[in-house]
C-alpha cells in the first residue's frame, strides 16, 4: 500500500492481514507485477510511467491516460480485446474509464452488438460518491443543517447540495458541454472503436449518497424490440434487469448501492418514433464499485 508521506505508517486490516502504508517513491515499483493507481491525475502522470518502466503493469483509475493513444481504455465485459498481448509484470498502462461511461456502456453494449447504436442521448443523475468522501460528508452535514434551519456549510460545491441538484461541477469546455459530458462522448467512441456513433450528454449532480443513475435514449440502425433488449440485458455479465412495470419496480440508486452489478430497467420503445429503431432505458450503478474500484480490479484479474 503506497501513499503520500503523511499517510506512511498507517495500518489497515484486510482479509485477515494487516498492511502498513509505505511512502510512494520512484523506486516503490521495483519487483512489483501490478499496481492499481487511484490517487488523482497528477500522481498518475508522474508515477505510472515510472512503474511501467520498472516492469510493473499499471491499472490507472484517473483520467490521466484515458484518451492517450496506445493506452487501452477497458471495461472487461465490453472490450477485453483492447488488452490483447498485455501481461502483468511486463509494464504498460491500462486506463479505467469514467464512472458514467462505464455504467452507461454496461447497459448499452449488448444492445449495440445486436442492432448498432447510431445515436445515444444520456442524462445522468450523479451521486456524491463521485466527488469523494468529503462530498458525501458535506451532503450529510447539509441535510442536517437544512432540516434544523441552520446556515448551510458549502466547502466542496459552490451550491447547496442537500435538497437541490445542479449541473455537474466538471470544468466547462468551449462547446458549452462540461468535461464530464465530453468524457462520455470521447470514451465511448474509443471503447467501442467506433467514431461514427453520435452521443450527447447532460450530467447533473443529485443529492444521493452513492450510485449514479442515467436515463438513456437510443437510436439504432436495425430494428430492436423492448422484449429483445430485456433478453440481451439479462444475458449480459455484470447486468441485473430490474423491470417490473406492473408494480412500478425499477432500478434505484439505493437498490444498486454496494452491488457489483449495474441495474437496468424502464426498457421501452421510443414512442416519438414511427419505426422500431428507438428505445429508452434507465440505469443505476454503484460509482464506487463498478464505476471505479471494481472495474479496476476486474482489469487486473484479466491481466492475471
Please choose, from the candidates 145, 146, 129, 41, the residue with its C-alpha nearest in 3D space to the C-alpha of residue 93. Answer: 41
Task: Please provide the average confidence, as pLDDT, over all residues in the chain.
Answer: 96
Confidence band, pLDDT 50/70/90 cuts, at residue 76: very high
Of 56, 99, 203, 284, the catalytic one is 99
Model confidence at 295, pLDDT cuts 50, 70, 90, reads very high
Query: At residue 87, does pLDDT exceed 90?
Result: no
Q: What is the pLDDT of residues 238-286, one digit of tens each?
A: 999 999 999 999 999 999 999 999 999 999 999 999 999 999 999 999 9
99 is a catalytic site residue = yes
pLDDT > 90? residue 52: yes
Active site residue 112: no
Q: What is the per-residue pLDDT for 89? A: 85
Average of per-residue pLDDT across 48-56: 97
Angle between helices 179-192 and 99-115 (to 10 degrees): 40
**How would DSSP label each residue in 139-154?**
HHHHHHHHHTTPPPP-
| Catalytic residue from among 112, 168, 203, 212 | 212
The pTM (predicted TM-score) of the whole model is 0.95
- Average pLDDT of the segment spanning 15-34: 96
> Quick one: pLDDT at residue 88?
85
Amino acid at each position: 500500500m503506497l501513499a503520500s508521506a503523511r499517510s506512511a505508517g498507517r495500518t489497515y486490516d484486510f482479509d485477515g492481514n494487516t498492511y502498513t502504508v509505505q511512502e510512494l517513491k520512484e523506486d516503490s515499483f521495483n519487483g512489483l507485477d501490478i499496481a492499481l493507481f487511484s490517487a488523482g491525475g497528477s500522481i498518475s502522470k508522474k508515477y505510472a510511467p515510472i512503474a511501467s518502466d520498472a516492469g510493473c503493469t499499471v491499472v490507472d483509475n484517473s483520467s490521466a491516460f484515458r484518451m492517450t493513444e496506445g493506452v487501452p481504455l477497458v471495461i472487461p465485459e465490453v472490450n477485453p480485446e483492447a488488452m490483447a498481448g498485455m501481461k502483468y509484470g511486463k509494464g504498460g498502462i491500462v486506463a479505467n474509464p469514467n464512472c458514467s461511461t462505464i455504467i452507461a456502456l454496461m447497459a448499452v453494449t449488448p444492445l449495440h452488438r445486436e442492432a448498432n447504436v447510431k445515436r445515444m442521448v444520456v442524462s445522468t443523475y450523479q451521486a456524491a460518491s463521485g466527488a469523494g468522501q468529503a462530498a458525501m460528508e458535506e451532503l450529510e452535514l447539509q441535510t442536517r443543517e437544512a432540516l434544523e434551519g441552520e446556515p448551510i456549510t458549502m466547502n466542496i460545491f459552490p451550491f447547496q447540495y442537500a435538497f437541490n441538484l445542479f449541473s455537474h461541477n466538471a470544468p466547462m469546455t468551449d462547446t458549452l458541454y462540461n468535461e464530464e459530458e465530453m468524457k462520455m462522448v470521447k470514451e465511448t467512441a474509443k471503447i467501442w472503436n467506433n467514431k461514427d456513433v453520435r452521443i450527447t450528454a447532460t450530467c447533473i449532480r443529485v443529492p444521493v449518497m452513492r450510485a449514479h443513475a442515467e436515463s438513456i435514449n437510443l437510436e439504432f440502425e436495425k430494428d430492436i424490440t423492448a422484449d429483445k433488449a430485456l433478453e440481451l440485458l439479462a444475458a449480459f455479465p455484470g447486468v441485473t434487469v430490474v423491470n417490473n412495470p406492473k408494480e412500478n419496480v425499477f432500478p434505484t440508486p439505493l437498490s444498486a448501492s454496494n452491488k457489483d452489478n449495474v441495474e437496468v430497467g424502464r426498457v421501452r420503445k421510443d414512442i416519438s418514433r414511427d419505426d422500431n429503431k428507438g428505445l429508452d432505458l434507465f440505469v443505476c450503478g454503484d460509482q464506487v464499485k463498478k464505476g471505479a474500484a471494481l472495474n479496476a480490479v476486474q482489469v487486473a484479474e484479466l491481466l492475471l
